[in-house]
Amino acid sequence: MAKESTSTTIPVPARMEIGRLAPEIYRAMVALNRTIGESGLESSLQELVKIRASQINGCAFCIDMHTQDARAAGETEQRIYALSAWEEAPFFTARERAALALTEAITLIAGTRVPDDVYAEAAEEFDEQDLARLIWAITAINAWNRVAISTRMVAKYRPAG
């Protein structure tokens, strides 16, 4: 007879409340995030970029947050699940593929140095202004990943609405 599975959540304690300890910097990061979010770059694309960078960095807090935000914005489960294998999945547009390739190159910048072909592909899909916005979006989520991972932010986010 198979043993009944009991699922338990293992709490991972936060190391610090960085927003409380350095509120002025935290507010500046939140403002940067808001500005990027309102910049005109498609919100669905921004969420895909945030999820993909967070997957690469292993940030549970940000994966939790941005998969919920993506779902709330109408993103499909199929595309969210396929993000870690986006190169093989047929569910992404050329624009999204260019953004995801650039996301991976910037997230892994120490090893990639953002290759010219990846940048050129993104430059073909985005005008200069949107490419600049995309680079800021990728940079911001990588900063948030580093803050969340180093302080062990607890994944308990719920989207507004």
Domains of the chain (ranges plus CATH)? 47-151 (1.20.1290.10)
CA–CA dist 15, 86 (Å, integer): 33
Q: Tell me the pLDDT of the chain averaged across its residues.
A: 94
What is the chain's Cα-based Rg? Answer: 17
Check residue 4 and report its DSSP letter: P
Instruction: Please check the confidence at residue 9 and state whether its pLDDT lies above 80.
Output: no
Model pTM score: 0.91
Query: How many helices (H) does the chain have, and how many strands (E)?
Result: 9, 0
3-state secondary structure of 130: helix
Query: Please, which pLDDT band fits residue 11 given cuts at 50, 70 and 90?
Result: confident
Closest by Cα among 134, 82, 141, 148 to 107 = 141
Between helix 43-57 and helix 60-72 the angle, nearest 10°, is 160
pLDDT tens digit sequence for 80-112? 999 999 999 999 999 999 999 999 999 999 999
Backbone angles phi, psi at 126, to 5 degrees: -125, 140
Residue 123: the pLDDT is 98
Residue 4: the pLDDT is 58
Sequence letter at residue 19: G
CA–CA dist 87, 106 (Å, integer): 17
How confident is the model over 57-61, as a mean pLDDT? 96
Residue 118: the pLDDT is 98
